[in-house]
Structure formats: C-alpha cells, structure tokens
Structure 1
Amino acid sequence: MRQAIETLVTLGRVFGFALEAVWAYKLRSIFVSAGIAMGIAALTVIVTSVDGAQRKALEIVDMFGPDAVFVLGGDIKSRAVGKRTLTLSWEDARRLRQSLPGAYLVVPMRAKRSIMARYGGKSKELPVVVGSTAAYSEVWNWPLAEGRDFSDRDVALGTKVGLIGDQAAEELFGDESPIGKVVFLGDLPIQVIGRLSYRGFSGGGSSIDERMIIPLTTLTQRFNMDRKYFRALRVKFHDPERMSVHVENTRSLLRHLHGLKDGEDDDFTILTADEILKFIGMLKGGLVVFLGVTATVAMLVGGFVLANLFYISVSERTSEIGLRKAMGAKAWTITAQFLFEAAILTIAGALIGMGLGLGLGQALTRLGILEIQFSAKVFVLALSSAVAVGVIFGIRPARQAARLDAVAALRGDGS
C-alpha cells in the first residue's frame, strides 16, 4: 500500500514536470497538437455523420413507409443534361389506378418552389408548395392535426383550398387555428382546410413542416404550369411484403405506357424505402472511406511530427535529463515524463480537433445533408485515439531519453 502511494506521488511530480516542459516548448507543442487536431476533426465528422446517417435513414423509412413507391419523372440515376423530367401524365395515373395489381392509392404531385405566403401582417417564404390530388395526407402516412384533406371535387374544380404544415401554420397564425383562414400564395388566395401534424423531418436545408399543399389542378392553372404532366406519383400497395413484385409490375406497366423498347433506359425513377436505405448506405460508405483516409493520414503525420520533435527535444534536453538522473530519477520516471508530454499534447489536439469536427458537422447539418449530434462515443473515441498516437509515437524517444548516461548527459555528450 505504501509503495503504491509513493508511486502515485512520484507520477504526480512527473506529470507536473511534463506540464512545465509542454509550456516551455510552446512552438513544438503547437505543431504536434495541430497535426493531431486535423486527424481528430476528420474522425469526429466520421463518427457523428455515420450516426447521423443512420438516424436520417430511420426517419426517412418511417416517413416513407414500407408499403409504397415514389415514382419520379426522368431517370435521376443517369439523367443526361437537358433530358425531360416531366414524363408522367394523367393517363399514367389513371392506368395505374385501373391496372396495377395490389395498388389501392395513386396520388400525382408537382411542386412550386420559393413562394411567399402572407396572412394579415405576417409573411413567410415557403420553400415548396405541393400540388396533389386527394388523399395527400393518407398516401404519405401524415395525419391531420385538425381540419380535413381536400377531395376529388376540389381537384376537379381547381378550388382554392389547401393544407398547411405545422411550422408554417405556427409562424403565420401563432396560437390561432388556421382552419378557415385565407393565406395568399403570391396573389393566389388559399383557404386553409387542414393542418398537418408536426413531422420534424428536414432535408435540403428546409423542413417539410414549412410547406403547403393545394390541389394539383389549382397549382398548374394559377402558376401557368404544364397541365398534362406532373413530376411525381406516390403509389400505396396492399401486401407490403411483396414490394419487389409491386416495383417490377409498376416498372413494366410504365414502360408499356411510355412505349419504351427493350434495351431503352427507363424515363422514370422508382424509389422505395429499400432504395433510400441503399443510398444512405452508399453515402455513409463514401464518408467513411474519404474521411477515414483523411483522418488516418493526418493522425500519422501528427504522430511522425511528434516523434521527430521529441527526438530533437531529447538531444536539446540532455543536460536536464542528466541532472535528474544524477539526483536519483529512475529510467521509468524519465520515460513516463516524455509519455505524459506526448499524451498532454495529443489530448490538447484531440479537444481542438473535436471542436473543428463539430464545426464541420454543423455545416453539413445546415446544408441538410446529415444531422450531426455530439455523443459520449465521439469524446471517448477521440481521446483514446489521441492518447494511442501519443504513446505509440512517443515511446521510442522516451526510451532513448531514459537510456542516457547521467555523466555523459551532464557533459552534453548524450549516448
């Protein structure tokens, strides 16, 4: 017990010597910490972005639903510049409703971006106004908090009614119910008949709770858009366990309706929850590979900088080391001091790197690419990686210092 206490006291003194040395050699300390910081910044982005991608994937799948497909006009996977994206027509929607096995809901959609909404003295720029047929809330599994969805009659007549997202309603109406109120979209008056429940999902720099949904016919008529074609279709099926069959049936029917021959590319894109998961997986993989290489290189560079500077430090501090050994310092305390110095510098670099990494992560979040959230896992992984680099690259210079002969070191000869 007594020996253990004496060892701890000795280590405390050695740690104090290490702190003094780090402060005395400021330029060396800055170089080492900066090198480690770059690697830890990349490592922080890797861990937080992968966690964020997983959360985003689960959000998307939950919102998308396992029983639906989303069909976009144009082949977004291999679209040539200038190639048509408006390839889905009202006839496609009609035939899908009539002939697609297992389908029970087909809802065409189109969107108009960046429209100013006004109510009373308040205004808000809506990132998107969606035009849809009836059953928008049902087809997207998005219940109404109050009011009703618009009907087939509303679509047929192009009535000026709409649904409003929760965030848009809060900003325009505050605590008031929006039902029955008239919102101006540009110069178009829209009576709010339903308020969508809060969803909390964001992407592309905006929240889906900021949108409004109006009849597709109203959107195309009032904003002078092509009335024959629309941008997307949402289709829901019975028997979600047979989604692969549903997808193939949808593809075959649309290719037939569009007169596509064997060997010709699709002029549409079918997305499912599985497709979205694959895309998120590719995104995660790309981030891990790119940032992993960056982190590894930066950490190795930081480690080599640390080792080289410590070798130089040993040669510069031979007299100090010789004096300590002459006064009774053991080899292991000399080794421990240099390892403490390495650990202090790499931990400082880790803390700086985590700050940089979180800053980069916030930039990704603002771009709507991923949600970055700091966690205890990031903290532990960053610190343990930094300490490992310090020990691995600092051990040889530390041992070299410990092996110095006291007399030769006092003369400044080092051996």
Structure 2
Amino acid sequence: MASRLMQFMRLARMALISLWAFRLRSLFVIVATGLGIASLTIIVAAVDGAQRKAIEMTDSFGPDAAFVIGGDIFSRALGRRTMSLTWSDVRALRQSLPGAYLVVPLRAVGNISLRYGNRNTTASLIIGATENYATAWNWPLSEGRDLNEEDILRAAKVTILGAEVARDLFGDESPLGKTIQANGTPLTVIGLLSERGLTTGHGVSVDNRLVAPITTLQQRFGLDRQYFRSLRVKFHDVHNMHANVENLRSYLRKLHNLAPGQPDDFTILTADEILKFLSMLRGSLVAFLGVTATVAILVGGFVLANLFYLSVSERAQEIGIRRAFGARSGAIMTQFLCEAVALTLLGALLGQVLGLSLGQLLERLEILEIQLSFKIFLLSMGSAVAIGLIFGLRPARQAAKLDPIQALRS
C-alpha cells in the first residue's frame, strides 16, 4: 500500500510538472472548466436562496390564514372588477364564517411622502386596516400598541410605523407619541412593528410601510368607502385549512350572488398556494440555469478532451521514452488522468470564485436570492473530478496504448 501511494505521488508530481510545461494550454482548460462550475455554483446558490425565501414568506404569511384579493388576479380578464369586496362581506364573514376568528379588511396607497421635523422619507405603502392588524399578520410590535376598535370608529389620526420608516425618520429615537406628516396629514405614532427584513416580489422592503385605520385612509386619501382591495382571514383549526378555504370561497360566492359555473370575482391565497407558486418559479429557475450549467460544463469537458488529444500527439516522444524505460501503460494513463483532474479542480476553484461573485452581484441588483453553503463546494469539486475523469479518460487511454517504438519515431 505504501509503495503504491509513493508511486501515485510520484505520478502526480510528474503531472504537475507537465501542466506547468504546457501552462497556456492548461490555462484554457482551467478557464473553460471554471465557467461551467461558475454556472453550477450560481444555480445551487440560487435554488437554495429561493428555497429560503419561500420558507420565510410562508412563515410570515401564516399557516392559519387566508388572504382574499378582489378580482381574479390570475386571469385578469378585460373588464373584470377588482374592487369586489365590501363592508357587508366583512360583517357577514365575521358573524357567520365557520372556524374564522379574525377578519381584517385592507386598503393601501403607494408612495407616501413622510416628514418629521426636518427629516423626510418616502414609504412604499400606507396600509389601511381595522383593529388587530399586527395580530392578523403575525407581526409582533416592538413598541406601543395595535389598532383598536375606537381608532376605527373615530377615524383616528394614528399610525403604526414599519422599522425602516421609523429608522429614516427617528433614527434610534423612540417614535411613540410623535406626530408625522403623511402626504400632509398629521398622524400620531402609536406603535412600531418589529423588523422582518423581507422584500416583496418587486424588491421593496416590507418594513418600508406604515399602518393607519382604514377609515382614516378613506377620509384623508379619498378612497372608496364601500369597497376595499383585500381582506385577511384567520382560522382556529390550522390542520383543516382546505375545508376552511372552501367554506370561505362558497360563502363569498353566495354573498356575491355568483351562479354555478360563473368564475370567482375574488382570489384566495394561502401559505400552501404561495409555496406552490414559489416552487413552480423555483422549478423554472432550476430548468433554465440547469441547462445553462450543463452546456457550460460540457463545453469545458470538450475543451479538455480536445486539448488532451493534442497533448498526446505532441508528447508522443516523451511517452515513448518513458515506455522504453519500463513505464507501464497504467502509469501513463494515471498521469494523464491526474493532469486532467488537477486542471478541473483548479477550474472548480476559479468557477466558485466567479460564481459567488456574480451571485452576490445579482443579489445586490435584486435579480436573484442566493444562499451560500458548504454544499456548493462539495458539488463543485465533485463535478470537477467527474469532468476530469470522464473527458480525460479517452485521451489518457490513447496515451497509454501508444506503441513505444512508433512513438519514438514520431
């Protein structure tokens, strides 16, 4: 065993010497392999990042909740109403929907200019809601209190700030009791949402928002007082969500006088629906990047094979001399395989650096979510070894089969 190990080490050393002697050719193989491994690195990091994002979004959404949106957001048929949810729907659901314990209607206005003293910022959304907004979204308050029934009845000029908005306007100072201007409307801060650190599909932070009574939004921002865009429903029995959602759908269809066969004029989303949608997107991402990575790896492998075939021809005399001095064909083949694997491993290291750098850039540009893990290193190095062995085997066998006399004459 020790003698075989020494022999292998000697062959590996000779392989490295040969690679340095043909370093320009070696560089081509390293770069070609590196591009393939870079693609593989991006796909693994992106898929893991998409999985992490899906888990974060479904956890924050809540397994016991349904989110109802006015209109069919998937078909968007021409002329189809999107404002189909009313206050009468809310009252009926609160009184009669089996298993539901919380129904919160929601409206929203985008791009709100905020001012406190000499500080200014812009919130992506101001959300109008009824009491228990934070409870409805499983969103703990780090300070203050949630909206209550009195706030809604009085259309109180109060607000709950998202963490990013509070930081922009108040820095490290507590915002409680302070009055801010939202598009010129004074709102007194009664609560501060804890920071979630998530972004929406449009790359906007969920912490860049504020919440106010829905009646206040209707009065101060000129919103329709009968209809609203969406509502949040929470159920007691989280293990029976399919039946809960079917009951919700049937009841809303009855409230909206929809005949059998007539499409819904609303959309119901649950954590499972979101997870299915994100899984479908992740599958598309895997398919697209997977094809790209496979093509790039195959290109790297073919570059390696072709350059090694050329190397065998150019090094025929070297191989002939070694065979004449007693080198076995197995030793020749092992040396060439060592050369191939050494180059692909170097290419893997280069590819990981390129892939992770590009992945970080894509994440900063909010094109992809990536997550780094040791799995990337293992897959990259394993793929590199496989490329070296598979595409280097035939040139190595060709070198091992060279007749020493013919090789010396060439």
TM over 0.5: yes
**Distance in 2 between the 1:331 and 1:316 partners?**
18
**The residue matched to 2:131 in structure 1 has which SS?**
coil
- Residue among 77, 85, 88 paired with 1:88: 85
- Residue among 391, 398, 401 paired with 1:400: 398
Shift of 1:136: 0.2
**Distance in 2 between the 1:220 and 1:368 partners?**
34
**Distance in 2 between the 1:147 and 1:86 partners?**
33
CA RMSD, Structure 1 to Structure 2 (Å): 2.3
**Distance in 1 between the 2:93 and 2:358 partners?**
45
TM-score by length of 2: 0.91
1:34-183 map, 5 Å: 34-80=31-77, 83-183=80-180
CA contact (8 A) 2:319 2:332 kept: yes
Is structure 2 residue 235 aligned with structure 1 residue 232? no
Report the counterpart of residue 186 of structure 2 in structure 1. 189
Give the letter aligned to residue 178 of structure 1: P
**Distance in 2 between the 1:277 and 1:50 partners?**
14
Give the letter aligned to residue 91 of structure 2: R
CA contact (8 A) 1:149 1:163 kept: yes
**The residue matched to 1:190 in structure 2 has which SS?**
strand
**Distance in 1 between the 2:258 and 2:355 partners?**
48
CA contact (8 A) 1:42 1:294 kept: yes
**Distance in 1 between the 2:131 and 2:179 partners?**
20
**The residue matched to 1:202 in structure 2 has which SS?**
coil
CA contact (8 A) 1:17 1:337 kept: no
Shift of 1:177: 0.8
CA contact (8 A) 2:12 2:338 kept: no
Shift of 1:234: 0.2
Shift of 1:396: 0.8
CA contact (8 A) 2:16 2:339 kept: no
The verdict on how the C-alpha distance between 1:82 and 1:411 changes in structure 2, with shifts beyond 3 A counting, is farther
Give the letter aligned to residue 353 of structure 2: G
Report the counterpart of residue 208 of structure 2 in structure 1. 210
The verdict on how the C-alpha distance between 1:367 and 1:79 changes in structure 2, with shifts beyond 3 A counting, is farther
Shift of 1:360: 4.7
Report the counterpart of residue 340 of structure 1 in structure 2. 338
Q: Report the more deviating stretch, 9-18 or 324-333.
A: 324-333
The verdict on how the C-alpha distance between 1:87 and 1:382 changes in structure 2, with shifts beyond 3 A counting, is same
CA contact (8 A) 2:68 2:266 kept: yes
Shift of 1:41: 2.9
TM-score by length of 1: 0.90
The verdict on how the C-alpha distance between 1:85 and 1:368 changes in structure 2, with shifts beyond 3 A counting, is farther
The verdict on how the C-alpha distance between 1:25 and 1:44 changes in structure 2, with shifts beyond 3 A counting, is closer
Shift of 1:406: 2.6
1:8-19 map, 5 Å: 8-19=8-19
Q: Unpaired runs of 5+ in structure 1?
A: none
- Residue among 277, 285, 288 paired with 2:286: 288
**Distance in 2 between the 1:95 and 1:169 partners?**
36
CA contact (8 A) 1:135 1:151 kept: yes
Shift of 1:82: 6.0
Is structure 2 residue 320 aligned with structure 1 residue 322? yes
The verdict on how the C-alpha distance between 1:105 and 1:364 changes in structure 2, with shifts beyond 3 A counting, is farther
What is the CA deviation profile of residues 11-48 of structure 1, one whole-angstrom value per residue up to 9, with x for unaligned ones?
A: 3422322431451425xx32x34443343233223322
The verdict on how the C-alpha distance between 1:352 and 1:221 changes in structure 2, with shifts beyond 3 A counting, is farther
The verdict on how the C-alpha distance between 1:84 and 1:350 changes in structure 2, with shifts beyond 3 A counting, is farther
The verdict on how the C-alpha distance between 1:256 and 1:369 changes in structure 2, with shifts beyond 3 A counting, is farther
